[in-house]
Structure 1
């Protein structure tokens, strides 16, 4: 059994007991979150596609960790001009564990 959910402008294929990192969500560690934006659901035999969402479907998860990702370096360079810029960026994320998928 799995579902495809949309959060943070991205789509994720999730199944129960899965741990994944998503864009930062509001909430504290240990709190419950619910995703109503379920785009597809499969119970192993049949596949239900939403248009655009599956009606009365929800994915429940709880937050394991709020953190920052590894630093990504952004380097800008223009040849023969002496222009160089080096910046770093650390993206916020939320690590969640999928508890249940209900339809």
Structure 2
């Protein structure tokens, strides 16, 4: 059984026991339980249910494993040719690692 759920503006394929990195959830602590109720699709052994736009009563229960994980460094380089203009910026995206505990369809 798997579901497609929207978590902070991104869609994820979630299965029970799977770990994933979502955009940083402010105020989340390690071991806390978070619920996501924007479930867009449920596949239960080949029986597919598609929401319009979401499925009423369906939710995903997750446990926060690590509240703050930094991603890889992303370098952003701007240049205009023949003008002597170069600018280098970089950042590391912040994520929260969650573990899918239960899927309620």
> With structure 1 as the length reference, what TM-score do the two structures score?
0.96
The Cα shift of 1:91 comes to 0.8
Q: Which runs of 5+ in 2 are unaligned?
A: none
Moved over 4 A (4+): none
2:57 match: 56
| Counterparts of residues 20-35 of structure 1 (less than 5 Å) | 20-26=20-26, 27-35=28-36
1:87 match: 89
Aligned residues: 103
Structure whose residues are more often strand by fraction: 2
Distance between the aligned counterparts of 1:29 and 1:88, measured in 2? 28
1:97 to 96, 99, 104: 99
1:16 match: 16
Q: Which runs of 5+ in 1 are unaligned?
A: none
